[in-house]
Structure 1
């Protein structure tokens, strides 16, 4: 009875000691065994591992590729056109012992804080050496590769490997954005004014050409009309002359009728003539001037 009572606590302590000395390393992580804060073992292969109970401490780190969001960063390219850039980096912990020595107990958060500073410095250095047009263009792969290469060497000092860098957003600051919009609006208004001025100039040229063409056409028409009218008058006079030569009496009669028509036109026509005036020869006799003689 006394022997069983003694062995049972010993057995329990042995089981607890064995269990507390065993830990599991998964496929997605790496582990460090710390003794009084000093690294005594690195466990990178998945499976069971051992430590000294109570004395040793196990710290695990993610072995997968991680993401780091780099907050808005204001840069000034070569053309002094300030831009706000958002980026993100893909990284992984390749040397957990070096990483632990660099960041201490702050872990992943401390490592990302230092990597964020590295990324910001590399981004400013690279984007500050090119123009804003290069940054805003669709072909920015070369710039992102330069940022990654610039951050790799510094990140290696913390046991990190920068796998990839991407630029997500490149915009103008709000103040610059409003100024840019105002400048673009002024340029468009100036272009519109230029187009209107060119249109007015072209309209004036067309209008002047149309006026000149109108004057020329009217002048030509009036000249042709005068020519035709002169030819018609000449032809009429020729006909009258021929008619007079053939029958002077009929021509005299015709002229008298035209004179009567012109003189007696209207309801209130009045003539004051002598009764024996030659004007009334054809009214006094059907034979006309011959009868009057």
Structure 2
């Protein structure tokens, strides 16, 4: 019988060298190469009896080979070398049954469900921590920007105040120089002009009241002024 027969195994949990448990689904293809030996080994059970025997052999080789490497090598897409090792070792064990293991393939290799949940929880916690770190860094950057803006405002206001003080000082100096020049040219007129300004300021509005003696110097120019005719 030269037929190529399939062998699907049940999901098998293996422990790689890094102790990271994995669930592996594998299948094999096999054929009868020695009918006499096969019949002697299987009796009347034939192919149906051979399948569980071959599955035990395959599972044993899966555990041995996959247990000798890290989980990364098993989860990698490039695991042909591992499957060839399993095939060769299973073939050597199955020879006594009068059969040949033609091929072995790993259909799936995943973390157990409980490990997946723990892994997802860990990944979620890591992402949340990264997000919190990003938010903290963003807040810190925002605080730095606000602090810099506040410093800039303070510096700008201070500089503006400084310039305003300088301008006021220069204006006062020019005004004083003008007053001094006017006083030097005509002291009497300067005194008269200043008195008029004082009268205007004191008598501005209709409700102003002043208590001053008749001989006060405040009215000096009012008393001496002669009306025009």
TM-score, length of structure 2 as denominator length: 0.83
Change (3 A) 1:171 1:243: same
Larger strand percent: 1
The answer for the alignment partner of 1:109 in structure 2 is 48
How far the C-alpha of 1:264 sits from its partner, in A, is 3.5
Aligned pairs for 1:41-52 (under 5 A) are none
Partner of 1:225: 164
Residues 265 and 149 of structure 1, relative CA distance in 2, 3 Å threshold: farther
TM-score, length-normalised on structure 1? 0.67
User: Structure 2 matches for 1:158-173, cutoff 5 A?
Assistant: 158-173=97-112
Give yes or no for the alignment of 1:71 onto 2:2: no
Bigger relative contact order (CA 8 A; separation at least 6): 2
Residue pairs, 1:1-293, within 5 angstroms: 30=1, 63-280=2-219, 284=222, 291=226
* Residue 148 of structure 1: how far off its partner (Å): 1.8
The alignment of Structure 1 onto Structure 2 pairs a total of residues equal to 227
Tell me, what secondary structure is at the counterpart of 2:218?
A: helix
CA distances 1:69-108 after superposition (whole Å, capped 9, x unpaired): 1111111122222111111112222222222222222122
- Tell me: CA distance 1:246–1:171, structure 2 relative to 1, closer, same or farther (3 Å): same
RMSD: 2.7
Q: Once structures 1 and 2 are overlaid, which stretch shifts more, 83-92 or 188-197?
A: 188-197
> Within 1, Cα distance between the matches of 2:31 and 2:64?
23
Q: How much has 1:251 moved relative to structure 2?
A: 3.5
Whole-angstrom distance in 2 between the partners of 1:140 and 1:267: 107
Gaps of 5+ in 2: none
Structure holding more helix per residue:
2
Describe the superposition over 1:129-175 as per-residue Cα deviations: whole angstroms up to 9, x where unpaired. 12222222222222222222221211222222222222222222222
Name structure 1 gaps, 5 residues minimum. 1-29, 31-62
| Structure exhibiting the larger radius of gyration computed from Cα positions | 1
Change (3 A) 1:110 1:265: farther
Q: Distance in 2 between matches of 1:165 and 1:261?
A: 116
For 1:268, what is the secondary structure of its paired residue? coil
Shift in CA distance, 245/118, structure 1 to aligned 2, threshold 3 Å: same
1:224-253 deviation digits (Å, cap 9, x = unpaired): 332222222212211222233334455344
